[in-house]
Chain A
Amino acid sequence: MSISLEEVRHVARLARLDLDEPELLAFQGELNALLGHFQDIQGIDVEGLDPKPHAVGLHNVWAEDLARPGLIRDEALRNAAVSRAGLFIVPTIIEE
C-alpha cells in the first residue's frame, strides 16, 4: 500500500495546508514510511472488539443551564488578525 503524489495533494487540500512541490514530495515519502508501520496492526484479530474512543469513559455529562460571565467582546477580539466594528474580518465568501 502506498500513497501517490496526487493523494498527498488531496490530503493537503482537505487539511487546509498550502504546501509547495518539494514539501509535497517530502510528505509523500514520510507518509509512505508511516503507512508501512500502520500495517503492523492489520494482522491483529479484533473481530467483535469494541473500539475504545476514550481513556476513562464518562457518559452523559450534564451541566446546569445557567448564565455565567463569558469573555467580553474586546477581549475576544484582542488576538484577531483583523477586526473592525466589533467583528472578526475575513475576505468575502458569498459573492453578491
Chain B
Amino acid sequence: MLTQLSATELAAKVRSGDVSAVEVTEAHLDRIAKLDSELGAYLHVDREEALRQATAVDAMVKAGNGGFLVGVPVAVKDNISTLGMPTTCASRILEGYVPPFDATVVAKLKEAGAIVIGKTNLDEFAMGTSCENSAFQDTHNPWDPDRSPGGSSGGSAAAVASEMAPLSLGSDTGGSIRMPAALCGIVGFKPTYGRISRYGLVAFGSSLDQIGPFGRSIEDTALLASVLSGHDPLDSTSLPDSAIRSEGLKDGSLKGLKVALPKQLFGAAINAGVMDALEMAIENLEREGVSCTQVDMPSIDYGVTTYYIIAPAEASSNLARFDGVRFGPQVQGDGHIGNFSATRGKLFGHEVKLRVMVGTYALSAGYYDAFYHRAQQVRGLMAAEFESVFRSYDLVMSPTSPIVAFKLGELKQDPMALKMLDLCTIPANMGGFPSLSLPCGFSQDLPVGMCLTGPVNGDERLLQTAYAIEQALPWGHRRPPLP
C-alpha cells in the first residue's frame, strides 16, 4: 500500500516514474476519507486542490524536473500560512481567514515537489499539550482513540502516525512537536532556533517558536528538515548558512558516544512505565558502546515556571494583532476599542485568554522586574548549564513526556498537570538547542519517546546519532492498530 511507504521511497518511485504523484496523493486522500472522521487530525482537506498540485508535479517529473520531495504529501499545522487555503490556528478569531501568501516553509515544500495535502488540528494558537484547546474539534490518538495525541501539534503527529500523510510540519515553543511525536510513536524534530524560517508562522512566543518536521523515521525527518532549512531574508532571526544537510546521515556510530542523563528528569516526576521503557533502551545502547552518565542539572526544575512567564509575555504582545479589523470575524462592541475588546473576549478560547492575561500582568508596571526580567535571567542560567554539559557530553537524553498518552478529558481539570508535561522539552527552547523525540519502547501498549538534545547548530550530528540509535532499538516498525 502506498500509504505505508516512507517519504524517501515515495519520492524515489515518483521520480523514476514507477507511480505518479496523483496516485500517491489519491491513496493518502482515500485514507483520510476512511480514517479521519474518527481521528480528527485534519481541520481542512481540499481534495481537488491537492490533486491539482499532484498533476502539476507529474508534469514537472515528465519534463525531467523535480525536487527532493516529488509527489510526497505533507500535512501542515494550521498555524502556518498557506496561500489560498484556510489558516485558523484552531481559533474562532481566525475562522474564515485565507492567507494571501505562503509561509517560507510552504513555498519550499512546493518547490521541492511536495503536495500540501491538508491543514492539521492544534491547541488554539499552539497553546496546550493535548489538542483539547482547539476551538473546532478533538484529535484522537491513533494508538487508542480514547486518548489524546498530545499537543500542541497533535493533528500533525496523528496524521503521520496513522499513515494519512508520510510527513508533516509542526511548531515547537515548549515541546509542541516533540511531545505529540512521543505520544503518537513517531519522530519529531525541533531544529536549532533560526535554521528553519519562521516567516508565515503565526507567532506565539517569538524567541522560542521553531517550525520543524514529523516523520515515521529519522531518515524521512532529516530529508524534510533539509528541504525546509536555510537562510531566509524574510525572517530576521534566521541564521546565516543555516541549511541542514542530510548527507552523511547514516555514517554515525554509537561507539564512544557520551550521553548525559539529567538527574532531574529521571526521578519522581516521570511515570514508572515510561522510566522502565527508557531504561531498557539505555541498556540496549550501552551494549552498543554508548556511555551514559547521570548529571545534576538543577536549573531544569525552573523550566516550566520560567516558560510560563516568558511565553505568555511574548504571546500577549504577538496576539495584540487580532483586533477584528484586518482579518477574521468581528464582534460589535461600543466604538473602536469596544469592537476590539468584544471580538477578543468572545472569539479567543479560555486558555488563550488566560495566557494573554498572564503575559499582560507579567509585563505590567511594577511586576516587570520580578517576573519577566528575572525569568530571562533564569533562562540564561538554564542555557549556560546545558552549554557546560555539552562541553563534556555529546548530547542530553531524557524521556520526552513524563507520561504516555492520557485519556481525552482526563487532565482537563488539572491545568498545572497539563503544563508539567513540557518539563523535559522546555530547556531546548530556552537555549535554542536542536532537540528531537524518537520512539524508544512501549508502556501499557502505548508508545514512549526518548528526547535527545544537542548543542546549538549540532543538528546534523544529532540526526546522525538519532539514526544510529533508531537502528539499534527494535521499535521502529510497530504501527498503531488501525484498519
- Chain A: residues with CB nearer than 8 A to chain B? 3, 7-8, 11-19, 23, 26-27, 30-31, 33-34, 37-38, 40-42, 44, 46, 49-56, 58, 61, 63, 71, 75-76, 78-82, 88, 90-93
Q: Are A16 and B380 in touch, CB under 8 angstroms?
A: no
Do A81 and B325 contact each other (CB < 8 Å), given the known contacts A16-B340, A56-B456, A93-B336?
yes
- B206-246 vs A: 1/0 string, CB under 8 Å? 01100000000000000000000000010011010000000
Q: Contacts A14-B364, A15-B316, A27-B353: A41 and B378 contacting too (C-beta < 8 A)?
A: yes
Tell me which of B346, B353, B371, B376 contacts A38 (CB under 8 A): B371
Q: How far is the CA of A47 from the CA of B344 in the complex (A)?
A: 39
User: Per-residue 0/1 for B378-413: is the Cβ within 8 Å of any A Cβ (1 yes, 0 no)?
Assistant: 111101000000000000000000000000000000
**Pairwise interchain contact B376-A53, C-beta atoms closer than 8 A:** yes
CA A40 – CA B456 in complex, angstroms?
28
Q: Are A18 and B333 in contact (CB under 8 A)?
A: yes
Are A81 and B381 closer than 8 Å at their CB atoms? no
**Interface band, chain B:** 35 or more
Tell me, rounded to whole Å, the shortest Cβ–Cβ distance linking B2 to chain A: 36
B residues whose Cβ falls under 8 Å from a Cβ of A: 96-98, 100-101, 192-194, 207-208, 233, 236-237, 239, 301-302, 304-306, 308-309, 316, 320, 323-330, 333, 335-342, 344-346, 348, 350, 353-354, 356-358, 360-361, 364, 370-371, 373-381, 383, 415-416, 429-432, 456
CA distance A55 to B456 in the complex (A): 10
CB pair A34 B358 closer than 8 Å: yes
What is the CA–CA distance of A26 and B44 in the complex, to the nearest angstrom? 33
Are B381 and A49 interface neighbours, CB within 8 A?
Answer: yes
Which chain A residue has the least Cβ–Cβ distance from B316?
Answer: A15
Q: Is the CB of B192 within 8 A of A76?
A: no
| CB-defined contacts of B377 to chain A, threshold 8 Å | 46, 49-52
**Cα separation A82 to B336 with both chains bound (whole Å):** 13
- Give CA–CA (A26, B349) in the complex, Å: 13
> Which residues of B lie under 8 Å from residue A88 when comparing CB positions?
325-326
Given the interface pairs A11-B361, A30-B415, A52-B376, the reply to whether A19 lies near B345 with Cβ below 8 Å is yes
11 A-B residue pairs with CB within 8 Å: A16-B341, A19-B345, A31-B358, A40-B302, A44-B374, A46-B377, A52-B430, A80-B326, A80-B327, A90-B339, A91-B338
Asked if B357 and A37 make an inter-chain contact with CB atoms under 8 angstroms apart, the answer reads no
Q: What distance in Å separates the Cβ of A21 from its nearest Cβ neighbour in chain B?
A: 12
Besides the known contacts A17-B344, A52-B383, 12 further A-B residue pairs in the complex with CB atoms under 8 A apart: A3-B361, A11-B364, A15-B344, A15-B360, A16-B340, A40-B302, A50-B377, A52-B430, A53-B376, A61-B237, A79-B326, A81-B328
Of all A-B residue pairs in the complex, the 9 with the closest CB atoms, nearest first, are A55-B432, A18-B345, A51-B376, A81-B330, A52-B380, A55-B193, A79-B327, A46-B377, A18-B341
Q: How far is the CA of A38 from the CA of B325 in the complex (A)?
A: 35
The answer to whether A55 and B336 touch across the interface, beta carbons within 8 angstroms, is no
